Amino acid sequence: MSQTAGRTEERQQPELKRVMGPKLLLLFIVGDILGTGVYALTGQVAGEVGGAAWLPFLLAFVVATITAFSYLELVTKYPSAAGAALYTHKAFGIHLLTFVVAFMVMSSGITSASTASNAFAGFVSDGFGLELPTGGDGRLLIALGFMALVALVNFRGVGESVRANVVLSLVELSGLLLVIFVGLWATTQGRADFSRVVVFESADDKSVFLAVTAATTLAFFAMVGFEDSVNMAEECKNPVRDFPRMMLTGLSITGAIYVLVAITAVALVPVGDLVDDSKGSALTQVVAAGAPNLPFDTVFPFIGMFAVANSALINMLMASRLLYGMANQGVLPRAFGQVHPFRRTPWVSILVTTAIAFALIVYVVRQSGTESGTNAIALLGGTTSLLLLVVFTIVNVALLVLRRDHVDHQHFRTRTWLAVLGALTCAYLAGPWARSAEQQEQYVIAGALVGLGVLLSFVTWLYNRSVRHRQIAFSDVSRLEDEVEDDPDSDARSR
């Protein structure tokens, strides 16, 4: 214990520079939420409920906002960068639960990046007019090649830059605003049919409630990302004042954009075409239908490529850093914590997370080409939502437990009933009753990922107990996502 305490004291760093005011924080939150979800899954959401595709996005916004209130109290109460794992550890102090939450967050990053890879392959096919068949070797190779490129960038090392993120976010935002403006233009030209947006259709003749619930669990993928902004708490000038206003404003902006995009998509393109991948990605079809005489449909796939590429890189950076952090603290095999001596990046963790992403991409792309697996692309987005809904349920409960923990500074305080409602709604949407028969396979993917983590943790525990005669536990949960360069032990492990 004394050695662990000594290492922790040795590794302490000065406070991060507080450079983010409210405007930068707002742009960061909006950029964090925007991305792959609405670009990749609009067609699948429409396939669940027909023309009422806007409703699941609206409900997902409401559920995300309720949970955001819990995050606001916790991030202003504990302005540290570890997020859900830290809140879970402070509330329950159970090593296994903290580990599972951290591994779920890591796995959600991998499944999200894999979804982005599939979307990227579709946009490449659309943008260059390749007309690659769904589930074919062409799309698979592009998706795998894209993920390999993300791994190389990750290995080279990418420093955080809030202003760069703002630029990337503005490009992502431009693509979605383009869809909305095309919809407005098409309306003036008489090309839009808004009567379709109130038509409910379910492919399996499910009840309205079950179909909308299943679509909401999928649309929820588009709203995640706001929880990542808590990692910027230590770099905000006034997190207690700014976080509540900016996070709620950011959620409202993105929620409004998503609802408008969904309405525009259904008004311009029949639902049957939106869910048909052979006709191109859903939003590419929307732009082409709304402005056939303008070159927007040529530009849009490239904006889409950029948006999902940014999302994939951010998620794989997060996933590899979390895996490194858990290995660095001894709760996973130490080999995963090895750092490259020259690039000073966690190269083993990058290889492991990329290999998992490869396996997911191969499985889902191949499945999407089969008659029974036409909705398989939605599996990865739905699995991301499933993992994070479980995490959000735990975070909402953790808030209630931590009410008895008092701190010596002012912080945001949410209503108790909102935290209870957040826990109940997230738990409900995480259950099998909230998913269609095709979506049940999300539990297989999520279970396999979490099971892999628990197995690796058990092997680590067994090794430490039988060989090193040590117990395993998190030494400092608040440092899980620290920069590799901040770790003075990294050179020793890299040798």
pLDDT digits (tens, 9 = 90+) for 406-461: 888 888 899 999 999 999 999 999 999 888 777 888 999 999 999 999 998 888 88
Q: Could you tell me which residue, 145 or 299, shows the higher pLDDT?
A: 145
Residue 192 pLDDT more than 50?
A: yes
Q: Which residues pair with 200 in a beta bridge?
A: 50
Q: What pLDDT, on the 0 to 100 scale, is given for residue 446? A: 94
pLDDT digits (tens, 9 = 90+) for 130-172: 888 877 788 899 999 999 998 988 887 655 445 556 677 777 7
Residue 488 pLDDT more than 50?
A: no
Q: What pLDDT, on the 0 to 100 scale, is given for residue 16? A: 44
Q: How far apart are CA 341 and CA 231, in angstroms?
A: 27
Q: What pLDDT, on the 0 to 100 scale, is given for residue 209? A: 83
Averaged pLDDT for residues 172-180: 85
User: pLDDT band for position 473 (50/70/90)?
Assistant: low
**Helix, strand or coil, per DSSP, at residue 131:** coil
Q: Which amino acid is at 494?
A: S
Residue 239 pLDDT more than 80?
A: no
Domain boundaries, the chain: 22-471
Residue 308 pLDDT more than 80?
A: yes
Q: Could you tell me which residue, 74 or 478, shows the higher pLDDT?
A: 74
Q: How far apart are CA 100 and CA 453, in angstroms?
A: 8
Q: What pLDDT, on the 0 to 100 scale, is given for residue 6? A: 43
Q: Could you tell me which residue, 469 or 285, shows the higher pLDDT?
A: 285
Own/partner contacts of 74-78, CB < 8 Å, gap of 24 or more, are: 74/230, 74/395, 74/398, 74/399, 74/402, 75/230, 75/233, 75/239, 75/243, 76/233, 76/239, 76/240, 76/243, 76/244, 76/411, 76/412, 77/402, 77/407, 77/411, 77/412, 78/407
The CATH code of domain 22-471 reads 1.20.1740.10
pLDDT digits (tens, 9 = 90+) for 366-385: 776 555 444 556 788 889 99
pLDDT digits (tens, 9 = 90+) for 74-111: 988 887 656 788 899 889 988 889 899 989 999 999 99
Count of beta carbons in the 10 Å neighbourhood of residue 414: 19
Averaged pLDDT for residues 104-133: 88
Average pLDDT value for the chain: 81
